[in-house]
Chains A and B, each alone.
Chain A
């Protein structure tokens, strides 16, 4: 038998109650869980970088370029799980050429390109231009030409031009903050605007996505900063961690409050979908929602981060705790994406039953592929850090 049909017969055997026959085949799998996770990391990392630049949080300087390059690495991969999930990927370009104006999804290509070309690439270019000109003069062989090409022929490093670089970079960062908000708020809107699905349909969805994006991006940059310092055999500055930790703590509180509000509203209003959603969260999503997202990803990090604000001893231990917290928060945000994307498809729109979801290991829609899309950005980041090492940047003379 066709393996797809075999899979569907297995699912059918595990479904509960009544579901519409077309709902047995769950449409958006693990790749669509990975997509908002990756996009969230981009938006979060960028917002952390902007914090340093626009709000002049000087202490975060060591993480500034790391955050920008992290955002770029993940952004380059963000579209790939989406495109590979299409059943007609060769037609994906149609979304750019003939976008349907009333579709939330149609705007994706434009939001993405705006963010990649206008915000991230330009900002990184302005940041690195001075260094790239210097490196092009210093290096020999192929690398000399690589940097020459990267400067796009703009070799003027007079103080006046460098001042302009900084000015323009600053303007782009200012434009970039709302852009990052739009990028991820928009991803939330893709789900939040589906009135057919009561688990998704809430005006809070874009905001919840945004804050969870910030939470994940901040944690990811913190982890990457620690790993890079460890590789470079440089001391991890605990001040930097404290400062990121404080920021993470506040954003996590906001995120928790928003998600709590959303749930309280659902429980209190108790609309027609309430019974099925109650069953959903208390059975199918119990582990991923209460344990993974709630306890591991939110409550434990919140309590620990609050404690770390006062804890001044044993710096080594403190760093280890920060590292663990970063990981836990990422697990929590990934679970949140899972709960939204998969959770929203587990219950029938008849509100009378559940389908089940089994993710395979191999195949384009399998766990290994999803893991590949999450790991790939780290490879890109390693390359970017080698090509554009933040620690070798030429500091302009003030």
Chain B
């Protein structure tokens, strides 16, 4: 008799445990398979979840951003190491495209294509896309590169072994090996400045306000408002990196 009771209560326990586990698995599966507009959501809801907008129509190709970034973040001045740079696209009347970025655009640009041959021309500033499903974080063998709670992709310089796998994995060419520190390096969205409520150096110096950052979780932020009112696009959407850098007026020639 007593035995039966124990058995039935055990059965009940197992049943409810299985239901709970099933629900948990089901729920986690649902959550992970959601196609989130902004990629992964932050765990700590009190913190912002940063996204970036670059308005191509506003960029004048002055290169102040790239210059300020190098100064702010101790990036060697040689033209092989950039946390951010500016590209000039010139689509010619014959359909061919000229892309240049001399010294990352720091010294400005000179148009070499004669005016009558130009169909259109524009500047595209580039920087880390701070992807929410970033391939660079995925491949790091020691976990030296990681997502900050605010969705900023960072590198632990004391931990990086310098295998360069992350440089290979980034589809946007945003990473390099710092020639002095001998570890991977990239845009941190000036995390040290963000923490003091200061704008990233590139945005601070942009004379036209072509770059904008903000909290994607705050539906009233200027950034979210901008995303609502403009047709924006991320780079290489086919790669499903969860890029959080949105371009306004992105032309199809840009990769």
Contact = CB atoms under 8 A, between A and B. Distances in A.
A352 B170 contact: no
Nearest to A348: B173
B177 A27 contact: yes
B143 A98 contact: yes
B139 A103 contact: yes
B45 interface: no
Given A18-B100, A88-B183, A195-B239, A352 B162 contact: no
A308 interface: no
A88 B142 contact: no
A348 B140 CA distance: 21
Contact of A94 (B159, B164, B171): B159
Given A102-B138, A106-B142, A24 B80 contact: yes
Contact of A28 (B82, B160, B164, B182): B164
A105 B163 contact: yes
A358 B100 CA distance: 23
A160 B176 CA distance: 61
A138 B164 CA distance: 52
B78 interface: yes
Interface string A18-48: 1111111101100000000000000000000
Contact of A92 (B85, B161, B165, B167): B161
Interface in B110-165: 126, 135, 137-143, 159-165
A87 interface: yes
Interface residues of B, number: 44
Contacts of B101: 18, 20-21
A5 interface: yes
A2 B177 CA distance: 16
B22 interface: no
Contacts of B87: 18
A125 interface: no
Contacts of B183: 87-88
Interface in A99-124: 99-100, 102-106, 108
A8 B177 CA distance: 13
B175 to A, nearest CB: 7
Contacts of A108: 141
A101 to B, nearest CB: 9
Contacts of A345: 168
B172 A349 contact: yes
A170 interface: no
B182 A95 contact: no
A22 B138 contact: no
B171 A349 contact: yes
Contact of A103 (B165, B170, B179, B182): B165
Interface in A222-268: none
A59 interface: no
Contact of B162 (A17, A88, A106, A351): A88
A100 B134 CA distance: 14
B84 to A, nearest CB: 10
B255 interface: yes
A12 interface: yes
A95 B162 contact: no
Given A27-B168, A349-B255, A352-B97, A86 B176 contact: no
B80 A21 contact: yes
Contacts of B163: 85-86, 105
Contacts of B85: 20-21
A52 B66 CA distance: 62
Interface of B: 78-82, 85, 87, 97, 99-101, 104, 126, 135, 137-143, 159-165, 167-177, 179, 182-183, 239, 255
Given A89-B162, A106-B141, A194-B169, 18 more contacts: A12-B80, A17-B99, A18-B87, A21-B81, A22-B81, A22-B174, A27-B167, A28-B164, A87-B182, A87-B183, A88-B160, A100-B143, A105-B139, A105-B163, A106-B142, A190-B165, A196-B170, A352-B255
